[in-house]
Structure 1
């Protein structure tokens, strides 16, 4: 009885690309979509951080490589590896999307995109609460991404992975070009269970 679909797999395997392809297919079949995805930011061929991008094209910083000049501006600094997470930027872009989740296009068929639930995003307790509330809501199906387990388990990630109403697809280099139809079929089934 799945209501939500999450993709997992190693970094760079193509989870976000699959989410974007699924969004295009859903929109063209008349399904309302809302939400966000994360995108690498590169300068001179080098990854310098990540942005959060809404499906309407608004963009904000999620993280950047520490520049040595002190990015914290008096706030507590959250880091993942070499990246400093810009929590205010992330929250100001992502959190309003959750508040609007019940009113995507006024349509009854809605999919909410959460790409991704990972270490950087989990620094935001408001984000964690919003994800839990949206998972428990019956107003939409969720298509999201979560990292593969590595090191210390991430509470919300493991919670999502073990929910009975979540179908998890593992994306690999071998299946990433053929798995899209299975994801879309499962999402269509999930949509039948939302009210």
Structure 2
């Protein structure tokens, strides 16, 4: 039987990260190991000022910030590619060696794709036949879809509250 390979897509601020965070909680509560990482907002004075990357159960780093002026940029944000790689790449590697794990990747987007090692690692995970759920930036997914074979699910305000439970039922043994 083929293991689920799922890409979640939606416009920004629709709830993709919230779906992944809740899914991780449900899987861990069911005793399923979770590997991978979350990307989340850095809020300052009530406004989004950057993004973090955090391994499930592990390290965390700021990977993008409005105030950073050196290095590559995505929109208004300076991106620290080495900080992203220090957290995300080892987390993804652990997914290949952790027995019974579900891999969660949040997200495959323009900032993350600045890492030359990231997309090949994503493709390898999808090709390994492991259960995996990844979020993908809405504008990125047509290009990515050509490289990754997965079911594409759009997160909406109507389905985002029920989606974590539905995915947990599909992924938990």
Distance 1:22 1:132 in 2: 22
Count of residues paired in the alignment: 172
Matched, 1:143 2:133: yes
**Equivalent in the alignment of 2:76:** 82
1:94-118 deviations in Å (ceiling 9; x for gaps): 11112222232xx3x2101110000
Distance 1:8 1:2 in 2: 19
Can you give the 5+ residue segments of structure 2 that lack an aligned partner in the other structure?
A: none
User: Any conservation in 1 of the 2:38–2:54 contact (CA below 8 Å)?
Assistant: yes
2:144 to 132, 156, 172: 156
Distance 1:92 1:182 in 2: 32
**Equivalent in the alignment of 2:110:** 119
**Equivalent in the alignment of 1:60:** 61
Report SS of the residue matched to 2:25: helix
Taking structure 2 as the reference length, the TM-score comes to 0.89
2:160 to 167, 171, 176: 176
**Equivalent in the alignment of 2:20:** 19
Distance 1:80 1:157 in 2: 21
**Equivalent in the alignment of 1:34:** 35
Post-superposition offset of 1:155: 3.0
**Equivalent in the alignment of 1:43:** 44
User: Any conservation in 2 of the 1:4–1:187 contact (CA below 8 Å)?
Assistant: no
Post-superposition offset of 1:157: 5.2
User: Any conservation in 2 of the 1:146–1:157 contact (CA below 8 Å)?
Assistant: no
Taking structure 1 as the reference length, the TM-score comes to 0.80
Post-superposition offset of 1:180: 2.5
Change (3 A) 1:168 1:184: farther
User: Any conservation in 2 of the 1:5–1:186 contact (CA below 8 Å)?
Assistant: no
User: Any conservation in 1 of the 2:103–2:131 contact (CA below 8 Å)?
Assistant: yes
